[in-house]
Structure 1
Amino acid sequence: MTTPSQDSRADPAKDGAAWLRRGAIAIVAAAALLVLTFGQGRDQAIYTMVARSVVDGGMPYRDAWDFKPPGIFAIYTLARALFGAAPWGIRVIEALGLVATSFGLVVLARRLWKEATVGHVAAALAALVHAQLDFWHTAQPETFGGMLTVAALVVALRAAPRGPALVAAGALFGLAGLLKPPLAGGGAVLALWLSLRRRRDDPDASPRDLLAPFAWVLLGGVTPFAVTFAVFAARGALADLHQTLFVFTPHYTALGWEGRLFGAMLYQAVSEWLVEHSSAMGLGLLLLLARGPAGWSRPGLPLLLGIVGIQLLGVALQGKFFPYHYAGLWPVTALIAALGWVETARALLARGRMARVGLAALVLAGLLARSATKDVHGTFWRRAARRLRVFTWDRDDQPTIDGLATVADLDAQSNRRVAAALRSLTPEGEPIYVWGFEPALYDLADRPPASRYIYNIPQRVPWSASWARPMLLADLAAHPPAAIVVVDNDALPHVTGDGRTSVDLVDGDDPFVELRQMLQRDYRRAAAIQDFTIFTRTR
């Protein structure tokens, strides 16, 4: 009988890394599966309706109106083309993107620090926060912009990136900018970091060599914008894009600035990023800070912090501070926070049993102290347990499924009831119009919208009502709706600047007179369901 040699014995460090890798894979897989169960919020319904129009030959802004940048509509159009009207189609693309981003974080950790373990922890952190954002704050422009940011860094961060790689990275940052303009700024941060690194490595480098990264990244970055503008021009929709993004949207953004100083807004963005949304991320960042220069001096860290900084600047400039506005930050933040967790874990594991107990307490605090789950009913862990139950063995529990897709004044059960009523009250194929902010009803009822305005914000706000109301009336005259749904209790002061509801603009003191006259003249009240009143055409 032989005795195993020392070399054949298990290496505790390697064994621990293997278990950590398996744990990260499990967390990413669980998060991706949770994403597949997410319902559809209002924003997702808007993007879906624009995609429906594009698949049918229309164009964003001209044929289906929203004021988000065009990149998000391209992604939803892809989902619509591949999976039809199924709301889970976009979730399949989102889940695949989450998995790909997880691989990208591991690649980046290896390239920057030769630390696959850091990448595994980063993947787990990013996936956890992504799942915690739940259905309302996912599948947003920032969601996919963060994924493209990681892809751009993977392409660019090679030993000696050449021109084509930097052009490709710039193009990926440009695509991210088409989802959320500040995300394109990551390309400028990358170019600056590469130029400074070249100057450090070669003090005699020529100005041409130092400027080359800027030229390559800029070339790639402007290409998606140029192609987008060319497509809109060729399809005759460039003026509509301009009217929406450069006339309407600045007024909307200005609402968040009223009575506020930019310094205070930037402070809010930074503080919320650090402590408001994820204790796992925040603790990791603090642990890295506590490591001192040994942690701060890691190569590539200034690049990652610069990308985080430019995105936080964008959050502050927008001035709304919705949880999903930070979604583009989390993958890169996870890479930084993972450094703090891994270095601290190694230090504590080498100090004995009590230090390990302390590490376990830190991990528990990171998991439980603060979650990115906001606005919805219940904690992340309870909602995850409910999803596991109803999407595995209790699929007929419709009340729980509706509850998981309900938030604030969006009631999934009411929407289904209204959609069923519309199907029974209107002929198949006939258009309907929803005077309110509930665009999901069109797909749920399987009826086409009678207007490009799939929700009524442009008609409600003072800076666009003068041109948006006549355009809506022209749409309704050209495509008379078989039914008009008027929504109540849909006040959105952070969007409209006042507390009026859609009903107020029909029956209130300062109404949309022409719409009220149309309802009185051509329609009768057919049904009332919770906050919805359905009017059907009489002539």
Structure 2
Amino acid sequence: MALNSPDRHYIFPWLVVITAGLLFGCVSLLYPFGRDQAIYAYAGKLLLEGKMNYLHVFDLKPPGIHFLFAFIQLIGGESLLNARIFDIGWQIVTAITVFKITGKITKNNIFPAFAAVSYLFLYYRQDYWHTLQADGSLNLFFGISILLLLSFRNKHSFLKLFFAGISFAAVLLFKYTVISFLPLLIIALIADKKFIFSLRLKNIAVFVTGMLTTAGFVIILYYFTGALKELIDTQFLWTPLYTKIAFETEEFYFIFKHSIKLFTHSAYTPLLLLSIFSMIYSIFKKDLGFEKLLIFSWLISALLSLIIQWKFYNYHFLVIIPSISILGSYGLSLIKELFTEKKSLYRFVLTAFILIFSILAFKPYIPNYLNIGDYFTGKESLNSIYIKNGFTTDSVFMYGKTIKAVDAVKENSELSDKIFVWGFDPLIYYLSSRHCSSRFIYNFPLLWKGENSEFRKEFLGAIDSDKPKLIIVANNDPLIYISGYDEDSKQSLKRFPEFDYIISTRYSFLTSAEDYEIYSRNEW
């Protein structure tokens, strides 16, 4: 079947977007999993085995990312490389959604293509730890919801509104703190003078019904699998407790410093300033139609989510990339219109913007492209590049050390054996294909400054009944960021004397693997 004219119109810019996605995304093919991705992957693996997250694996993240990783493993198996390939496809589709949304407020395909490429460029400048995160994965669902909200008005469609609500509820399953978009959307829908007031109220009701449909499905799923209480407790009791414990991120200076950096000298600054310009210009010109209010609301809610959660790690900024890419491109289109009679000046401004943007943002790509060259020329193996890429600057996590522990576990246990890692390294479970003997796949809920007596009682019961073949104790893994104590896991054992006693009386030291001590269960 021949493509119609509108379809042909999009072929070239979409090819540009897809090519950019492959060009930028290929650097992630050589990324290992960090601890976060290991949690999601292990939880996803258990979901595929019929075990529910929260009931059978404790994690503080909302459930959406666990189900996404279950889907990744369903189609690609337990492969770090296949997960990265999946993410490239996921982000390219997200970029195409960004393209479509930008096309609603600009006049040609240049600015939508620029927005889509900017999105991919900013996303893949992040390292292994900060990609394949919930904060970046939710952008596709958010974009779909925005696109449906933009298109339902052409030929009024309650069905599109309903699915927009479903899609936005899916966003919340990845990150609750973007809920501030909902009241902003309600304001935009009420202010939409295209429809009579009674129809505006119906539009809101249909969107909310879509959200409640998703929420109802989730509640039913967790209720009938016996995991609803654990879901509610984890998300609304233990997660707030953890955010209060998290070292440094609650401090005013930490928050202020990162806020200033975001607006003044980050890779996001050029697009963010252009976004602010587009908002101010639209307000000044009284050009605030529903489309622009909607996208402005997207940006505002993304920024508010950072403030609500008081988190400023690199991956938390992934939620702002789609909206600043769209509004930044719109800002450039406005500048072009302002300089209609001064094209040379506009070209100068555009060139300066691209240069500044590239200088600020391109640097992380250089070593990764060199790694790709080393891999394909046979100078380095995939595992050696995983080791090179897989570390944190403060050495809190090092893939090379983790893989040594994984090798030791494989050598001293069978696939059917259960193990327990006293530390924060769930990657050991995932890479060794061993199950954890408890739902607590990391130790800090058993240690944190707060109520954890019930957790400890449950944990000790699981250890007593499952009798893990191996217990791996981590050293040199600072827990202050997650437990509130300036100690590593080995030192923190004294805070849990009951478990320390189990290790000393029922287990014997077997071997060391880098920063991990491995103990084997006594057979007598």
Taking structure 2 as the reference length, what is the TM-score of the superposition? Answer: 0.88
What residue in structure 1 maps to residue 396 of structure 2? 409
Q: 1:16-42, CA deviations, whole angstroms, 9 ceiling, x for partnerless residues?
A: x99977654432231233333332111
Q: Structure 2, unaligned stretches of length 5 or more?
A: 1-9
Shift of 1:116: 2.5
For the pair 1:27 / 2:20, whether they are aligned, the reply is yes
**Which residue of structure 2 lines up, in the alignment, with residue 400 of structure 1?**
385
Partner of 1:441: 428
Deviation (angstroms), 1:517? 1.0
Q: Which residue number corresponds to residue 174 of structure 2?
A: 179
Q: Which of 64, 80, 83 in structure 1 is aligned with 2:76? A: 83
Which of 237, 240, 257 pairs up with 1:247? 237
Counterpart code for 2:331: G
Distance, in Å, in 2 between the alignment partners of 1:248 and 1:231 is 21
Output the CA distance in 1 between the equivalents of 2:276 and 2:11: 26
What does 1:348-363 correspond to in 2, within 5 Å? 351=342, 356-363=347-354
Amino acid at match of 2:225: R
Instruction: Pick which of 458-467 and 283-292 moved more.
Output: 283-292
Within a 5 Å distance, the mapping from 1:126-525 to structure 2 comes to: 126-158=119-151, 159-198=154-193, 201=194, 205-206=196-197, 208-255=198-245, 271-275=260-264, 276-285=266-275, 288=278, 297=287, 299=289, 300-344=291-335, 351=342, 356-370=347-361, 379-394=363-378, 396-397=380-381, 398-407=383-392, 408-506=395-493, 508=494, 511-525=495-509
> Which AA in structure 2 matches 1:528?
S
Distance 1:226 1:265 in 2: 38
What secondary structure sits across from 2:449 in the alignment? coil
> CA 1:419 to 1:349, structure 2 compared with 1: closer, same or farther past 3 Å?
farther
Closer/same/farther in 2, CA of residues 295 and 381 from structure 1, 3 Å limit: farther
| Percent of aligned pairs with the same amino acid | 20
* Bigger relative contact order, structure 1 or 2 (CA pairs below 8 A, ≥6 apart): 2
Letter in 2 for 1:388: I
| Deviation at residue 45 of structure 1 after TM alignment | 0.3
Rounded Cα–Cα distance in structure 2 between residues aligned with 1:224 and 1:269: 34
Q: 1:49 to 1:172 in 2, by over 3 A?
A: same
Conserved 8 A contact 1:405-1:411: yes
Distance 1:364 1:20, change over 3 A: farther
Query: How far did 1:409 drift?
Result: 1.9
Structure 1 residues 401 and 393: alpha-carbon distance in aligned structure 2, compared to 1, 3 A threshold: farther
Match of 1:313, as an amino acid? L
CA contact (8 A) 2:177 2:309 kept: no
Counterparts of 1:93 and 1:141, CA distance in 2? 14
Partner of 2:516: 532
1:519 counterpart letter in structure 2:
I
| CA deviation map 1:323-379 (0-9, x unaligned) | 2122122112210011123444576696465764553232111111257xxxxxxx4
Distance in 2 of aligned mates of 1:58 and 1:518: 27
Displacement of 1:65 = 1.1
Name the CA distance, whole Å, in 1 between partners of 2:21 and 2:270: 15
Change (3 A) 1:160 1:36: farther
Tell me how far apart the structure 1 counterparts of residues 424 and 406 of structure 2 sit (CA, whole Å): 14
Question: How far, CA to CA, are the matches of 1:392 and 1:70 in structure 2?
Answer: 37
- Between the aligned partners of 1:295 and 1:96, the Cα distance in structure 2 is 39
Over 3 Å counting, the alpha-carbon distance change for 1:229 and 1:291 in structure 2 is closer
How far did residue 456 of structure 1 move? 0.8
Kept after mapping to 1: 8 A contact 2:138/2:174: yes
Rounded to whole Å, the distance in 2 between the matches of 1:269 and 1:191 is 30
**Would you say the 8 A contact 2:248–2:481 is kept in 1?**
no
Residue identity matched to 2:189: L
Distance 1:25 1:82, change over 3 A: closer
SS at match of 1:236: coil
**Contact 1:174 1:225 (C-alpha < 8 Å) held by counterparts:** yes
How many aligned residue pairs are there?
A: 507
Q: Supply the AA of the counterpart residue of 1:385.
A: Y
Alpha-carbon offset, residue 271 of structure 1: 4.0
Measure, in 2, the Cα distance between the counterparts of 1:359 and 1:112: 19
- Out of 146-155 and 399-408, give the one that drifted further: 399-408
Given the superposition, is the C-alpha separation of residues 476 and 395 from structure 1 closer, same or farther in structure 2, using an over 3 Å criterion?
Answer: farther
Provide TM-score, normalisation by structure 1.
Answer: 0.86
* Structure 1 equivalent of residue 87 of structure 2: 94
Alpha-carbon distance between aligned partners in 2 of 1:431 and 1:266, rounded to the nearest angstrom: 41
Letter of the 2:203 partner, please give it: P
Flag the 1:101–1:347 CA change in 2: closer, same or farther, 3 A: same
3-state SS of paired residue (2:147): helix
> Is the CA contact 1:105–1:335 (under 8 Å) kept in the aligned structure 2?
yes
Distance in 2 separating the partners of 1:260 and 1:423: 40
Amino acid at match of 1:456: N
1:124 deviates by: 0.8
Residue of structure 1 in register with 2:66 after alignment = 73
Please give the alpha-carbon distance, in whole angstroms, between the structure 1 residues aligned to 2:299 and 2:192: 19
Deviations 1:161-187 (A, max 9, x none): 421111100110000001111334434
Paired residue type of 2:458:
M
Partner of 1:111: 104
| Deviation readout 1:212-264 (Å, 9 max, x if unpaired) | 221011001122111111111101111111221122111112336999699x8
Partner of 2:7: none
> Secondary structure in 1 aligned to 2:472?
strand
- Partner amino acid for 2:116? A
